[in-house]
Amino acid sequence: ETGVTQSPTHLIKTRGQQVTLRCSSQSGHNTVSWYQQALGQGPQFIFQYYREEENGRGNFPPRFSGLQFPNYSSELNVNALELDDSALYLCASSPEGGRTGELFFGEGSRLAVL
Contact indicator for 46, 35 with CB cutoff of 8 Å = yes
Cα(62)–Cα(11) distance, integer angstroms: 22
Q: Which residues contact 113 (CB under 8 A, 6 or more apart)?
A: 12, 13, 14, 15, 17, 81, 82, 83, 84, 85, 86
Task: Pick from 41, 61, 63, 114 the residue near other proteins by CB under 8 A.
Answer: 41
Task: Pick from 58, 65, 86, 95 the residue near other proteins by CB under 8 A.
Answer: 58
For residue 48, state whether it binds other proteins (rule: CB under 8 A): yes
Cα(87)–Cα(80) distance, integer angstroms: 15
Length of the chain: 114
Binding pattern for the stretch 69-108 against other proteins, x by CB under 8 A and - elsewhere = ---------------------x-x----xxxxxxxxxxxx
For residue 45, state whether it binds other proteins (rule: CB under 8 A): yes
Which residue, 52 or 107, is less far from other proteins as judged by CB? 107
Q: Would you tell me which residues interact with other proteins (CB under 8 A)?
A: 3-4, 33, 35, 40-45, 48, 55-56, 58, 90, 92, 97-108
